[in-house]
Amino acid sequence: MSERVLFSVNHPAQVHLFKYAARELEAEGFETLVAAREKEMTVDLLSAEGLDYVTLTTESDGLVELTAELAKRERRLYNLAREFDPSVIVARLAPPAVHVATALGCRNLVYMDTILRPRTVRLLYHGLTLPFVDDICSPPGMDFHVPFGQSHTVGFQELAYLHPDRFKPDPERLRAHGVNPDATYTVVRLAGWDAYHDIGEKGLDAATRSQLVEQLCDRGEVYITCEGDLPSEYDRHQLAVPPHLVHDLLYFADLYIGDSQTMPTEAALLGTPAIRINSVVGDNDMHNFLELEERELLYSYTDGTAAIDRADSLLSDDDAERWERERKRLLAQQRDVTEHMVELIRTGGND
């Protein structure tokens, strides 16, 4: 009987994180299944990628509702895993995945690249998860103490799907959806800021957002991707391509700007000038942002006005080749995260 791997996916970005590993394992004879949380376009992405999945819960709003959903997801994940009988559960660090793996006696492999704020949330979350972790992969500088497991260093988890060996941008995919990859355009991301790790933090306010979009429109097309419902005043900027092609859109963009945490890293790794605006920016920022800023592939701000000024200067920059040169230098020092992930699954965590 073939080995089975269960992936737990709670966010659209996690579909990308695990999709190539699932495909590679299937090609090697493993059975794979995705336990999904319905959030934004997660289910649409799973369908577009052709991955087998079961939906466990739907995104909830509010602390009480989120807590109830977490408990429901853990119960349903337990029932699904008991039936599927995996040898390993692969997930982002979260209570359901590590608890269920421990309860069923199978191994877990988890990924984490987020600093949780405030400190009380971090201590609670780590207390509920880290004692149950078998293998955790995280960037340099994020030292997770796993009492009974192993820690592995992975620089940019986005390279599980954006490494050049995995992602091949195709301008024709954009043209098929009415986007001219040769024209000047900007991609804007508006995050929701309602997740447990966003407590006390914020992104773009409405006034800055309106000023930003207005100025960007003077320079070319603007495509907005939004966590939740897109504000009605931006209907004409609705994302023009299906969600699974967003990285093609980012690759050929002249600029990315937004208040999310994942997409600016994706843009920078694709060689697209990236600007990040939110209250998380500061002296204790995460490794991936600091390294990208040092290489001038990414600019981070708490002040919207300064970010808008930077956007204007970047769109006036005619040295587009610099971004690609610096991107190549960075990628030459990074590993293929999917290759490493599959090796950890195959070898029981011994890399």
Condensed to tens digits (0 to 9), the pLDDT of residues 229-255 reads 777 888 889 888 998 999 999 999 999
Tell me the whole-structure pTM to 2 decimals: 0.90
In total, the chain counts a number of residues equal to: 351
User: Looking at residue 280, what is its pLDDT?
Assistant: 76
At 338, which helix (H) or strand (E)? helix 337-347
- In this predicted structure, the answer to whether residue 1 has a pLDDT above a threshold of 70 is no
Q: pLDDT at position 120, please?
A: 86
How far is Cα of residue 311 from the mean position of the Cα atoms in its chain? 23
pLDDT higher than threshold 90 for residue 157: yes
Backbone angles phi, psi at 134, to 5 degrees: -90, -50
Q: What is the mean pLDDT of residues 156-185?
A: 95
Question: What's the rounded Cα separation, in Å, for the pair 344 and 148?
Answer: 17
Helices (H) and strands (E) in the chain, counts: 14, 12
Distances (CA, A) of 259 to 45, 101, 188, 200: 22, 34, 9, 15
Residue 199 has pLDDT above 70, yes or no: no
- The larger pLDDT score, comparing residue 8 to residue 320, is at 8
Residues of the chain with CATH 3.40.50.2000: 4-163+336-347, 171-332
CATH code, residues 171-332: 3.40.50.2000
What is the band of 194 on the pLDDT scale with cuts at 50, 70, 90? low
| Average pLDDT over every residue of 72-86 | 97
* pLDDT for the residue numbered 192: 56
CATH topology of domain 4-163+336-347: Rossmann fold (3.40.50)
Confidence category of residue 322, pLDDT binned at 50, 70, 90: confident
Exposure of 10 in the CB half-sphere (CA atoms within 13 A): 20
Residue 286: per-residue pLDDT: 83
Residue 4, strand partner residues: 31
Backbone phi, psi, residue 222, to 5°:
-130, 125
HSE value, Cβ hemisphere, 13 Å, CA-based, for 80: 24
Q: Which residue has the higher pLDDT, 304 or 297?
A: 297
Whole-number pLDDT of residue 202:
58
Q: What percent of the chain has pLDDT over 70?
A: 95
Residues sharing a CB contact under 8 Å with residue 55, sequence separation 6 or more, in sequence order: 36, 37, 38, 43
Confirm if 241 and 179 have CB atoms less than 8 A apart. Answer: yes
CA–CA distance, 159 with 338 (Å, rounded to integer):
8
